[in-house]
Amino acid sequence: MLRIIDARTGEPAPAAPARRGPTRVEAHAPGHDTTGLRVLLVADLLIRALELDGTPAWALLTGAEDRTRLRAQAAVLGIRPFEDAAVGSGPGAGQAVRVVREGGAAADGTTVAVAPADPAAPDLADPDALRLALLTRHHHARVRLDPAALGDARDTLARWRRAVARWARQPSRPVPGDVRDGLRAAWEADLDAPGVLGVLHGVETDPGLPDGARFETYAYADRFLGLHLARDVGAPD
């Protein structure tokens, strides 16, 4: 079961209702700076994890002053669209989880706090690299997106995409059970994106795995990460 650390209590709390009703994910973005984008990214990860668990989710945006600009930046970063919270009441059943900036306004109900990201102005020159650089640190930890961090993310993405395209040429094999369990255990434990990335690093270098299993593992994990890891499949060498 997907559990998150509730910022109000510091204790794990379920992110989905027991009877599989819908979950309202309300992202309270402070603005269109990098931290505002990180809040939306964490809300996006939460929705992806809920959907992978079979829980419908409704994405709502509150608090942002310039929502048009924030939405445009979020779309570039591969974040799903968020509706205005005032548009409608949404599903009546289920529960609400609010994703807010660390130290932001207190919210009623289960709350996920997201630490700041620096610098304030997001570098969207390579959106997937920015997304990966943000995912390499847990959302409770402050992250600094300096040129070295973005460069490392670009290099990792390029290497993984080349590998995924190569692995895709081999016969498909199922994701090994222990690997699947490791991936799910990571994202179901407070959206541990660095833990998911760690599993992928292990799969990349494990000499005992067939390439077809590596491909299926990366494709499965990318449903949570949203990094377009299979983008180059079928492209000429």
Q: Which is more confidently placed, 237 or 95?
A: 95
Tell me, yes or no, whether 35 and 100 share the same domain: yes
Tell me, yes or no, whether 195 and 225 share the same domain: yes
Tell me, yes or no, whether 118 and 131 share the same domain: no
Compute the chain's Rg from CA coordinates: 18
Tell me, yes or no, whether 168 and 224 share the same domain: yes
* Dist CA 34 CA 37 (whole Å): 5
What band does 81 get if pLDDT is binned at 50, 70 and 90?
very high
Going from the C-alpha of 43 to that of each of 23, 39, 85, 189, 216, the distances in angstroms are 12, 6, 14, 15, 25
Q: Which domain holds residue 31?
A: 3-122
CB 63 within 8 A of CB 28: yes
Going from the C-alpha of 50 to that of each of 30, 187, 235, the distances in angstroms are 24, 10, 32
The predicted model gives 70-97 an average pLDDT of 80
Give the chain's domain count. Answer: 2
Tell me, yes or no, whether 118 and 151 share the same domain: no
What is the predicted pLDDT for the residue at 88? Answer: 46
Last residue of a domain, which of 122, 150, 184? 122
Angle (nearest 5°) at CA 213 between 161 and 52? 80
Residues 6+ apart with CB under 8 A from 146: none
What is the predicted pLDDT for the residue at 107? Answer: 65
Tell me, yes or no, whether 115 and 181 share the same domain: no
CB 188 within 8 A of CB 147: no
CB 113 within 8 A of CB 42: no
Tell me, yes or no, whether 132 and 160 share the same domain: yes
3: nearest Cα among 49, 57, 42: 49
Tell me, yes or no, whether 84 and 165 share the same domain: no
* Dist CA 155 CA 149 (whole Å): 10
Tell me, yes or no, whether 118 and 129 share the same domain: no
Last residue of a domain, which of 122, 152, 180? 122
Tell me, yes or no, whether 115 and 192 share the same domain: no
What is the predicted pLDDT for the residue at 31? Answer: 82
Residue 157's CB: how many other CB atoms inside 10 A? 20
pTM of the prediction? 0.94
Tell me, yes or no, whether 165 and 200 share the same domain: yes
Range scoring the smallest mean pLDDT among 72-76, 82-86, 91-95, 120-124: 91-95
Last residue of a domain, which of 69, 99, 122? 122
Tell me, yes or no, whether 214 and 115 share the same domain: no
The predicted model gives 85-101 an average pLDDT of 71
What is the predicted pLDDT for the residue at 22? Answer: 86
Mean pLDDT of the chain: 92
